[in-house]
Amino acid sequence: MLTPFQLSNHGLATLILIVVTLASSFCYFFGFHRRRDVAGKNVPPGSFGFPVIGESWSFVKALRENKGSEWIQRRVAKHGRVFKTSLMGSPTVVITGQAGNKFVFGCGSEFLSMKQPPSIARVTGKQNFVELTGMRYKRMKGALMSFLRPENLQDYIGHMDALVKHLLLGATKGKNTILAVPFMRKLTFKVTCSLLFGLHHESTNEALFEDFSKAFKGLWAFPLNLPGTTYHQALQGRSRIVECMLPVLQRRKEQITEGIVSPKDDIISSLLTSRDENNEPFGDEAVIDTFIALLIASHDTTAILLSLMVWKLARDPKIYDKVLEEQMGIIREREDETQGKLSWSEVQKMRYTWRVAQELMRMIPPVFGNFRKTLKDISFEGYDIPQGWQVFWEASGTHMNKDIFEDPTNFDPSRFDNPSKPIPPFAYIPFGAGHRKCIGNEFARIEALGIMHHLVTNFEWSQLIPEESITCQPMPYPSKGLPIKLKPRTFRTV
Task: Point out the annotated binding site.
Answer: 438
What is the C-alpha to C-alpha distance for residues 66 and 95, in angstroms, rounded to an integer? 19
What is the C-alpha to C-alpha distance for residues 377 and 165, in angstroms, rounded to an integer? 52
Query: How big, in percent rounded to 5, are the helix, strand and coil portions of the chain?
Result: 55, 10, 30
Q: Are strands 90-95 and 390-394 parallel, antiparallel or unpaired?
A: parallel
| Radius of gyration (C-alpha) of the chain in whole angstroms | 24
What is the C-alpha to C-alpha distance for residues 65 and 97, in angstroms, rounded to an integer? 23
Does residue 114 sit in helix, strand or coil? coil
| Cα–chain center distance at 277 | 28
Q: How far is CA 57 from CA 34, 367, 393, 431, in A?
A: 19, 19, 18, 26
What is the C-alpha to C-alpha distance for residues 146 and 318, in angstroms, rounded to an integer? 40
Does residue 461 sit in helix, strand or coil? strand
Q: Are strands 470-472 and 476-478 parallel, antiparallel or unpaired?
A: antiparallel
The residues with which 177 forms a beta bridge, in sequence order, are: 485
What is the C-alpha to C-alpha distance for residues 314 and 136, in angstroms, rounded to an integer? 45
**By C-alpha distance, which of 15, 55, 20 is closest to 226?**
15
Helical H runs in 226-350? 230-257, 267-273, 284-315, 317-332, 344-348
Q: How far is CA 60 from CA 45, 64, 305, 306, in A?
A: 21, 6, 21, 24
Phi/psi of residue 369, nearest 5 degrees: 180, 180
Spatial contact of 483 and 179, defined as CB atoms under 8 Å apart: yes
The b/e string for 344-380 (b: 16+ C-beta within 10 A; e otherwise) is eebbeebebbbbbbbbbbbbbbbbbbbbbbbbeebeb
For Cα atoms 171, 172, 174, give the angle at the middle one, nearest 5 degrees: 120
The residues with which 391 forms a beta bridge, in sequence order, are: 93, 372
Q: Which residues are annotated as a binding site for heme?
A: 438
What is the C-alpha to C-alpha distance for residues 72 and 19, in angstroms, rounded to an integer? 27
